[in-house]
A = this chain, B = another copy of it.
Amino acid sequence: MTVRSRPASEPSVVEDDEATLPRGQRKQRTRDALIDAALQLMNEGRSFNSLGLREITRVAGVVPTSFYRHFKDTNELGLVLVEESGLTLRRMLREARRAGAPMKDMIRRSVQVYKAFVLSNRLHFLFVAGERSGGSPVIRSAIRNEVDQFIDEMTSDLRHLAIFPNLSPESLRMVCELVVNTMLHAATDILDLPPGDEAQARAQEDNHVHQVRLIFLGAQLWRDENEKG
C-alpha cells in the first residue's frame, strides 16, 4: 500500500519518450499513471466503482494486463487512493498548524484557506466527498477510518489551541466531527461551483462562514453538565 509522494497532477499517460530510467522508478511511473487515470475519470463525473479496469489502463496509456503488475483489482487501487487522500487531509492540518490560528477574522480566513486547499487538491477531495457515502462498502469504511483519524488529530490540535476550554475531550471531538462533516460537504459545493461566477462564490463562502461561526458559537456556550443526565 505504498503511496507516491509526487504531486497528484495530471500528466497521467505514461510517456515512453522519457529518458531511460531505473527499473523501480519506471514501475512507479506507470503505477502513478494508473492512479491518475482513475482520478481523471472521476473528475469527468464518473463514480469510482463504476470505473473499469480496461478503462483505467486505456486512459493511463497502458495495456490492460499491465494493471495486474500493480494492483490485484480496481478495489485495491481504490484503497491506495483512500490512503493518498488521507495524506492530503493530514497535510492540510499540518499546514494549518504551521500557519497558526489567525487572530482576526479567524473563521473567515480559515474558510478561505480551506477553499484554496480544496481547489488545489480537487481530485482527492472529489474522491473522498464522492465515495464517503455510497461507493463500495470496503472503500467507504476505509474512508471512514481516515476521516475519523483526521477528526482525532483536529481535536488534539484544537485542544492545544485552547479555544474551547469549557469543552471536555469528548465534546470537543463532537464539535470537530460536526465541523468536518460540514466542511467535507462544503467541498462538494466548492468543487461543483463553476469558476468565474464571483457573486455566487462569495455567497457560498458567506454561507460556509456562517455555518462554522454558528457551530463555534454553540461550542463556546456548551456546558457538559447539561448532557450528563
From B47, B185, B215, A215 is in contact (CB under 8 Å) with B215
From B135, B174, B207, A207 is in contact (CB under 8 Å) with B174
* B130 close to A133 (CB less than 8 A): yes
Q: Does A175 contact B (CB under 8 A)?
A: yes
Q: Which of A47, A135, A136, A207 has the most CB of B within 10 A?
A: A47
Q: Which residues of A contact B (CB under 8 A)?
A: 45, 47, 49-50, 129-137, 171, 174-175, 177-178, 181-182, 185, 188, 206-207, 210-211, 213-219, 221-222, 226-227
Closest to A131 in B: B134
Closest to A141 in B: B192
Residues of B within 8 A of A174 (CB): 207, 210-211, 214
Residues of B within 8 A of A135 (CB): 47, 134
* B207 close to A214 (CB less than 8 A): no
Residues of B within 8 A of A206 (CB): 227
* A221 close to B217 (CB less than 8 A): yes
A226 to B177, CA, bound (A): 25
* B129 close to A178 (CB less than 8 A): no
